Structure 1
């Protein structure tokens, strides 16, 4: 099956999913003409240009090569920075997998590759019955796991990888993002995960306190994701 997208999840919230997603979009754009990021549920909005929008969504749009209607790349935007099911309840609405899948289906008609960034970790609730994992399963996309390198990351990463596989999805790769500059034995922890995750390491991100530039992040794509036009062809 031809590669047409992936689902980016993390070991927790605040581990750099958006940075990695934007970097992946920039890297994918060297091989595919039309790439777009999707944040199915964004919780926590800021005002920009008279409109309320999530900063994560702005980052994904800046890294995408096609502009799409906002109701497609972010079908659910919730004001408060809470778990999606709580933010939705406080906004007086219910978020369901079906509406998010429908938006993704429309995005697929507008782009060659759709990168979907989850919220929080793998089992974050969407409503009283469904989680973000249910969305990933419905989309049937390969998964990229962002591991926040800090004390406790081994357990979080291994449990998340186990859950991804138990849900029947393919862990296509993982990224180590240094979120604690004082982490002891960071390299040894990365080596442990390389031995145990049974998925390729796509990149190691150093500690970047000044707001990292996604264009400067070097990631290695799985080889199956590289079909399509090369960057020099796209520039012509």
Structure 2
């Protein structure tokens, strides 16, 4: 099976940085630009259960924000209720995450779109399986052959986490398209300095700035 290369894989420097929020804005932005963009999330943990039904809240949010008329269940390979690392969530639910299913689902979804935004789980060093046949998030990124987009907080400590994420990706031969700073405040000297130093230390451009409760990302260069 041939993997589509036209798309981007969204990761973050950690948990609760804003991957889903930024992913939704990116899909919305691309679609407003006339690009038939879609969305896919290989693994999701911390799904909500309502009336006995598991609700993929992250995927629902992206579909709602980007006005993507798809059933959320079609856009995720594995959804788990426990809000823990995917490898542990799968173990608690006696399930096994298989990269073959992720690839099959990705190819199925991507056939409907011209450009794909794929959202990871946690940070780039996220284990999906830690048994005799381990599977890491980086393995999925490599399998899908997509360039990486790193979402980071604009605030204190972000230089360290961005540099470590970039170094890990480069050591695993994962190409990086750019960095997006979330929770960015224009005029905040710390945020503005972080942006400059991240670019200087990594050699990777900060391509977008996202303010609190933004409806659109502010792009520094053309995306896509």
Pick the TM interval, shorter chain. 0.7 to 0.9
Secondary structure of residue in 1 paired with 2:127: coil
Match of 1:231 in 2: none
Which residue of structure 1 lines up, in the alignment, with residue 97 of structure 2? Answer: 95
Aligned length: 216
Deviation at 1:33, TM superposition (A): 4.2
The Cα of 1:218 is off from its aligned counterpart by: 2.7
Question: What does residue range 35-50 of structure 1 map to in structure 2 within 5 Å?
Answer: 35-47=37-49
1:45/1:54 contact within 8 Å kept: yes
Structure 1 counterpart of 2:218: 218
Q: How many angstroms does 1:47 deviate by?
A: 4.2
When residues 70 and 194 of structure 1 are mapped into structure 2, their CA distance, relative to the original with a 3 A threshold, is same
State the shift of 1:101 in Å.
1.1
Equivalent residue number for residue 33 of structure 2: 31
Segments of structure 1 that go 5 or more residues without pairing to the other structure are: 226-236
TM-score, structure 2 normalization:
0.86
Partner residue, 2:12 = 10
What is the CA-CA distance between 1:219 and the residue it aligns to? 3.2
Q: Among 174, 181, 194, which residue is 1:189 paired with? A: 194
Q: Is residue 86 from structure 1 mapped to residue 88 from structure 2 by the alignment?
A: yes
1:108 to 101, 110, 119: 110
Q: Residue 162 of structure 1: CA displacement?
A: 1.3
For the residues of structure 2 that align with 1:173 and 1:117, how far apart are their CA atoms? 15
Indicate the residue corresponding to 1:142 in structure 2.
147
Mark the CA change 1:124 to 1:98 in structure 2 (over 3 Å): closer, same or farther: same
Identify the structure with the greater strand proportion.
Answer: 2
Counterpart in 2 of 1:117? Answer: 119
Which of 123, 131, 137 does residue 132 from structure 1 map onto?
A: 137
- Residues of 2 paired with 1:27 and 1:3: CA distance? 19
Q: Decide whether aligned partners of structure 1 residues 72 and 166 sit closer, same or farther in structure 2, where only a CA change above 3 A counts.
A: farther
Which range moved further: 93-102 or 193-202?
A: 193-202
| TM-score, structure 1 normalization | 0.82
Find the residue that maps to 1:111 and give its secondary structure.
coil
Q: CA RMSD in A?
A: 2.4
Q: Which moved more, 1:59-68 or 1:119-128?
A: 59-68
**1:42-86 CA deviation, whole Å, 9 max, x = no partner?**
111224687421321112212445534544311111011110001
